Amino acid sequence: MPTYACDLADVREAAKRIAGIVHRTPVMTSETLDQLAGRKLFFKCENLQKVGAFKYRGATNAVRKLSDAEAARGVVTHSSGNHAQALALAARVRGIPAYIVMPKTAPAVKKAAVEGYGGIVTLCEPNLSAREETAARLVKETGATLIPPFDYPDVIAGQGTAALELLEDVPDLDAVVVQVGGGGQIAGWCIAGKGVNPRLRVFGAEPFGADDAARSKAAGKWIPQTAPNTIADGLLTSTGELTWPVIRDRVEAVFTVTDDEIRSTMRLVWERMKLIVEPSGVVGTAVVLTAAFKSLAGLKKVGLVFSGGNVSLDKLYW
């Protein structure tokens, strides 16, 4: 058995470490969606997590695991998405500084959100090398610990805690379908889910316009995501050095859906389930509504994760 960035024991420790800080989110069901999917669906509502996204689990686990001496120097990341907000709040809850590197082109509302959680924002040029250099400089200057958004063992273990909770609530799931961006969430779910129940089948879900994991699985080797183009803006990145091996070995297949399918699924969830889920958060749900997925046999009960609910309410998506 190969070893990965973390194992089931790490996820169980993470669950203890973050208990009482992170919400135990509800699992919702919908008869309408069951009918459309042709099977029973169980939705883990991480859109109702603090910060509005599952990212708060991994960030909290990483921040709580630091020694007091390490923690006192703070944490650093470069992100303009949900991980930045999650790390800022996780740091504030521990009473330590969070240095967040964001591209100067990031929307003002995202900067304000991070600052609202107490994050100290440093703007940089909008390219990966500038972000990495700025983060490295902050680490050097402050002695803070870099907490990357997904390719980091404690983050992966933290994300897996949601799968543990879902399997406690619905122990007889046949499969889970999980969104893939950098792969931190699906790697954590593989390790936790298959750790608890080795027969659990894990499928990935990607937008057609950022389908690097699907192409990597098909090719049998890691392929980076270049020039992503999708409404699902949380799923733009390539999988990582730590997450790809888990996806390669533990994920049965990665399904893709179009942005139109994502939009219509999003509207369906808002209308029928009364839950605000962001485009990136409904990609798995869009997958289970496709003919391709519906044709799979032996899947009576399928788990999904509404991974986040952070959308602008200044526009309609349909």
Write out the catalytic residue numbers. Answer: 55, 80
Coil vs helix vs strand at 186: helix
End-to-end alpha carbon distance in the chain: 46
Q: What is the dihedral of CA 4, 170, 198, 14, to 10 degrees?
A: 20
Residue (188 or 309) nearer to a second copy, CB: 309
Q: Which is nearer to a second copy, 88 or 214 (CB)?
A: 88
To the nearest whole angstrom, how small is the minimum distance from the Cβ of residue 277 to a second copy?
8
For a second copy, the closer CB: 46 or 211: 46
Comparing CB distances to a second copy, the nearer of 140 and 315 is: 315
Residue 51 near residue 21 (C-beta atoms within 8 A): no
Query: Which residues form the interface with a second copy (CB under 8 A)?
Result: 26, 28, 31, 47-48, 50, 52, 267, 270-271, 273-277, 309, 313-316, 318
CA distance linking residue 164 with residue 294, whole number of Å: 25
State which H helix or E strand residue 36 sits in. Answer: helix 31-37
Shortest Å distance, C-beta 46 to a second copy: 10
Q: How far is the CB of 161 from a second copy (least distance, A)?
A: 19
| Shortest distance, position 231 Cβ to a second copy, whole Å | 16
Q: What are phi and psi of 254, to 5 degrees?
A: -115, 120
Query: At closest approach, how far in Å is the CB of 230 from a second copy?
Result: 21
Determine how many CB atoms are found less than 10 A away from the CB of residue 59.
Answer: 36
> Smaller CB distance to a second copy: residue 168 or 249?
168
Of 278, 281, 275, 314, nearest to 108 (Cα)?
A: 314
Q: Which of 199, 315 has the CB closer to a second copy?
A: 315
Reference 283, options 302, 268, 295, 266; nearest CA is 266
Q: Measured from the CB atom, is 26 or 126 closer to a second copy?
A: 26
The CA radius of gyration of the chain, in Å to the nearest whole number, is 18
Candidates 231, 230, 255, 232; CA nearest to 178 is 255
Residue that has been written with the tokens 């390669």 in this structure: 248
**Least distance to a second copy from the beta carbon of 285, Å?**
15
- Report in angstroms how near the CB of residue 311 gets to a second copy at its nearest: 9
Q: Judge whether 26 and 48 are in contact, CB under 8 Å.
A: yes
Distance CA 153, CA 11 (A): 10
Residues linked to residue 77 through DSSP beta bridges, in sequence order: 100
Contacts of 157 (CB under 8 A, 6+ apart): 5, 6, 10, 11, 13, 14, 58, 61, 188, 191
